[in-house]
Structures are given as C-alpha cells and as structure tokens.
Amino acid sequence: METPSIRKPALTGRGETRYGPDNERIMDPMDAKTPPAIRLAAETATPKPSREQAEEAVRTLIAWAGDDPRREGLKDTPKRVARAFEEWFSGYRADPAKELSRTFEDVQGYDDMVMLTNIDVESHCEHHMAPILGVAHVAYLPSARVVGISKIARVVEIFAKRLQTQETMTAQIADALMEAMDARGVAVLVDARHQCMTTRGVHHPNVSTVTTTFAGEFKTDAELRERFLRMAERA
C-alpha cells in the first residue's frame, strides 16, 4: 500500500522562532501552536519499515510469547497481522480536514445542534496496543454550513484508527470539527472499554472510561451542555 512520503519539518531550537527564505515561520513540530497534521508527521517521521521487517517483528513476538513461529498454524500469522495492522491503523493515511472540506450551505437556516450518537469506536491504546472499544457521541452547532453527517463518523474513525489515548482522541475529534467547519460549538463524549485494563493488569472487566470535550458555545452555555449530555445518556 502506498503511503504519503513524510518530509521532516525543519527543527528549530526550543523556544526560538525561525524564518524561511520568504519570511515564513518555520514551524517547530513540538510547538503546541503548530497544526496537528505537522506535529503528527514529525512524530511519525521514523522511516517506514518494509513489510518483511514488520512480519519478522511479529515472528519475534510469537517466539517471545513462547510459541514456534514456524509451526503450521502460525506460519501465515505474521502476514495476517501485518494486513490487520493496515486496517487497524489506517487513520495515519487519512486526513480529517479533507473529509470535512465539502460542506453544504442550503440548510433553510437550521442553526440548532446536529448530533450523531453511538458512533462505533475501535481504537488501540498507545501504551499496550490493546483494543479500546466503545462509542462516541458527537454534536456540533453549525455556523452557515453543515457537513454530510457520514463525514463526522468518518472523522471519529480516522482518529480512532491510530494509536491513542482516549483523552487525546476525544480532543482531536472536537478540534478537527471546530477548525474545519468553523462550527459555533462542538461536544464530544467517548465511552469505551480498554482491554489493557479488562484483560490484563488490574482486571476490571466492567470499567468503562468516559471522556468529554466541549468547545465554543458548548463550553460557555451550561444548558446546551446539559441537553447534549441528556441526549447522549438516552442514546
């Protein structure tokens, strides 16, 4: 599968602002003001290993677990795992802003919240690479434009299909919607179970983690926030 080539942004010393030949600011990927896409590119700037190297790494993990990667049942497992990784982590090859770039203006003046409930979240925690499974409820307050509702689910999917913490993912979904759609407000609630917590370590099978991010009017208007939470609860 083709992956976009990642150019490493010019690094500057901590805290100093550098300018390029056209007086443009050279962005520091670690700077919080740098757009997330550039920060992400910098974080993933490790050269991409080959498929063979990835499969070899899986064989190493199988042997580490205590089995023989050459035995019949496991022979093709590294191939399957590499293919599964392409699906589980397809979010690195997609751009949420691009998904949200097509908006519609003719909505007859509709200006109330648009809410999607129970969007499936299938992610992996960045600490154990264990599945995080749950749902997201997402609402936004349109300004003049709305976006196709399937695109909102797609944005959730793009961020979920990366190595994540639930907190980061929740904030990223809200930020992407606020920025790309110029929304008056965004609310995101993610309710998920972390298999690193249910199947290992502390073994709490029934604990679910709830995270919320409120932006724009959802942050300032308590009544609006309540409405969102009631609708999420009912979902």
Q: Per the residue annotation, which of 55, 124, 166, 172 is the catalytic one?
A: 166
Q: Is 125 one of the catalytic residues?
A: yes
Measured N-to-C along each axis, helices 166-181 and 36-43 cross at an angle, to the nearest 10 degrees, of 140
Q: Which of 86, 179, 196, 217 is catalytic?
A: 196
Q: Note if 204 is an active site residue.
A: no
Q: In whole angstroms, how close is the CB of 202 to Zn ion at the nearest point?
A: 11
Minimum separation from the CB atom of position 10 to Zn ion (A): 34
Instruction: Return the SS3 of 208.
Output: coil
Q: Which of 103, 195 has the CB closer to Zn ion?
A: 195
Of 27 and 197, nearer to Zn ion (C-beta) is 197
Q: How far apart are CB 185 and Zn ion at their closest, in Å?
A: 31
Among candidate residues 55, 99, 124, 125, the one labeled active-site is 125
User: Does the annotation count 128 as an active-site position?
Assistant: yes
Phi, psi of 194, deg, nearest 5: -105, 115
Hey, what are 92's tokens? 């690195």
CB of 175 to Zn ion, least distance (A): 23
For the question of residue 126 being annotated catalytic, the response is yes
Determine whether 127 is an active site residue. yes
Torsion of CA 84, 85, 87, 88, to 10 degrees: 110
Best CA proximity match to 167, nearest among 128, 217, 210? 210
Measured at CB, which residue is nearest to Zn ion?
196
Rg (CA), the chain: 21
Nearer residue to Zn ion within complex by CB, 125 or 155: 125
Judge contact between 89 and 135, C-beta under 8 A: no
For Zn ion, the closer of residues 102 and 127 by Cβ is 127
What residues line the site for Zn ion (CB under 5 A)?
125, 127-128, 196
* Closest by Cα among 92, 220, 62, 98 to 162: 92
Catalytic residues: 125-128, 166, 194, 196
